[in-house]
Amino acid sequence: MPSGGSSSATSSWAPEPLTATYRERTATSGDLRLAYQEWGPDDGPVILALHGFGVSGHMFDEFGQRAADRFRLINLDQRGHGDSEWSPDGDYTREAFVADVEAVREELGLERFILMGHSMGGLNAVEYTFQHPERVSALVLVDVGPEAAKEGVDNIMRFTRGPDELDFDEFVQNAMRFNTRRTEENIRERMRHRLRPLENGKWTWKFDKRFREGEGAVRSGSQLSSDELWRRFRELAPPVLLIRGEQSDILSQEVAERTAGEIRNARLVVVPGAGHSVPGDNPDGFTDAITGFLADLDEGAFPEPDATPIPIPEDIEELRSGWRERERRFPGVPLIAGIAVGLAAVAATVAFVFSRFRRGRSGEA
């Protein structure tokens, strides 16, 4: 596995070549070695990026070329993808991906960081943020929401589960048909990171071949229901930037708007001329969306939510114990007891909210 080297790539979108370089590194999670590409200065604000299914951290190369002067970028090859090792027991559950992120964070000594995730990586980022909210200062979700359009998912599955061994040029031609927004030069560069050579002279995908063997070959995804996944998004604590590709066949505009609307501190940006693979389809628009969001965050555009707890009446436990005593003496009253305690809590909440409203009104006057 590569470690400690330096590589560079140029973008076909910029009027002049971009010369930022990355360092190839490795970290460990349990017995697995995980590869990642590191861009930018060691003391810059950290963005840890999680790619989508079937690709690698290199999907953020164009962003790295544009943002390495301002940020320290850690673009992880998630388990079973890119140059990271495959899971011996086929564990690609969301819990396993989240554990990997936490292991990398611990090894690199990151206290708080900006977390970014695309598609599958976005769902992993949401779950990590749910489990470790104190670690994530801001969350960037790229073309992912609680719901995905079936047609777009089927398109990705057809592309990644097509012929497994081909000449390199055949893979390039298939990729150009799959995504017509890219130049051939860019496709060739991307496929160089997604494929590995075989002894017979053919090439094949780098990601774990068991993903292509059908249902049951690996353990993947999450046991969360649709409602539970929506709840995960709603309960996100840090400020969230949701980026949608204007031509995405995965994240509909309707779902994107609903998702951003139900998150407490969220901004939705639609990047023109981009499909599902926003970072490479329109790297300038993608970079502008992120840097603008983070600049506004630094200027206080996303204030911390009011953490003042709702007061609970001091005698609430006395009420509960009194009703428990009555229940022992007069069976059949637990429902009435619950209603009484509930009404007491509701009354306290209403009084608190009203007092906050009155203070706010008097402050405006």
Residue 160: predicted pLDDT: 85
What is the average pLDDT across 162-180?
93
Residue 159: pLDDT band (50, 70, 90) is confident
pLDDT at 262 over 70: yes
Quote the mean pLDDT of the chain: 84
Residue 271: pLDDT band (50, 70, 90) is very high
Residue 302: predicted pLDDT: 83
Residue 362: predicted pLDDT: 40
Q: Closest by alpha carbon to 211, among 145, 165, 164?
A: 164
d(CA 29, CA 80): 13
Tokens standing for residue 42: 């060691």
Residue 213: predicted pLDDT: 87
d(CA 119, CA 251): 9
What is the average pLDDT across 79-93?
97
- Kindly give, in sequence order, each residue whose CB lies less than 8 Å from that of residue 319, ignoring residues fewer than 6 positions away: 313, 340, 341, 344
d(CA 144, CA 129): 15
d(CA 154, CA 223): 21
The residue among 19 and 54 whose pLDDT is bigger is 54
Residue 21, number of CB atoms within 10 A of its CB: 15
Residue 11: pLDDT band (50, 70, 90) is very low
Q: What does residue 200 show for φ and ψ, rounded to 5 degrees?
A: -85, 5
pLDDT at 355 over 50: no
- Kindly give, in sequence order, each residue whose CB lies less than 8 Å from that of residue 116, ignoring residues fewer than 6 positions away: 47, 48, 49, 50, 60, 125, 139, 140, 141, 142, 290
Burial of 23 (0-12, 13-18, 19+ CB in 10 A): middle
